[in-house]
């Protein structure tokens, strides 16, 4: 079965410091992986996606993620946090063999301190 595990339910950083949100996946074949962000009382916004091209994927707002097959990881990073980055972040896998159903991780809440 395919799934994703976000290793931290809550991460707190200071403005201007790096962000690391961790995600591990399990899949019987090469998956498509995504990171979405959800600001309070808002829908989901696509940050970036990995679809078996380059393993280092750049997204919007300075975020990037690296696909590491050997570690089954897809961690999200940003060099310098901004106050506006405070939100809930979801790591997501696409199940091709189930009509493109998305499976979401449990989410990581990112807090950014001034």
Partner 1 sequence: ETGVTQSPTHLIKTRGQQVTLRCSSQSGHNTVSWYQQALGQGPQFIFQYYREEENGRGNFPPRFSGLQFPNYSSELNVNALELDDSALYLCASSSGETQYFGPGTRLLVL
Residues found near partner 1 in the complex (CB under 8 A): 32, 34, 36, 42-46, 49, 51, 90, 94, 96, 98-107
| Residue 68 Cβ vs partner 1, minimum distance, rounded to whole Å | 20
Pairwise CA distance, residues 93 & 88, whole Å:
17
Cα separation of the two ends of the chain: 41
- In the complex, the smallest distance separating the C-beta of residue 81 from partner 1, rounded to whole angstroms, is 22
88: its two tokens? 């809930």
**Residue closer to partner 1 (CB basis): 18 or 46:** 46
Nearer to partner 1, 13 or 47 (CB): 47
- CB distance 107 to 10 below 8 Å: no
Of 83, 23, 84, give the one whose Cα is nearest residue 48: 23
User: Considering the complex, what minimum distance in angstroms separates the CB of residue 43 from partner 1?
Assistant: 4
The C-alpha atoms of residue 23 and residue 7 are separated, in whole angstroms, by 6
Report the distance separating Cα 66 and Cα 35, nearest Å. Answer: 11
- Shorter beta-carbon distance to partner 1: residue 19 or 48: 48
Min dist CB 53 to partner 1, Å, is: 13
Instruction: Compare residues 46 and 54 and give the one whose CB is closer to partner 1.
Output: 46
């Amino acid at each position: 079965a395919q799934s994703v595990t976000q290793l931290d339910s809550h991460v707190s950083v200071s403005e201007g410091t790096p962000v690391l949100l961790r995600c591990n996946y399990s899949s019987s074949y090469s998956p498509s992986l995504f990171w979405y962000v959800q600001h309070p009382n808002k829908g989901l916004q696509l940050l970036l996606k990995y679809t078996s091209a380059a393993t280092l994927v750049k997204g919007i707002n300075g975020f990037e993620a690296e696909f590491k097959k050997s570690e089954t990881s897809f961690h999200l990073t940003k060099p310098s946090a901004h106050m506006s980055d405070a939100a809930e972040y979801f790591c997501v896998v696409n199940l091709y063999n189930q009509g493109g159903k998305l499976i979401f991780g449990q989410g990581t809440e990112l807090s950014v301190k001034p």
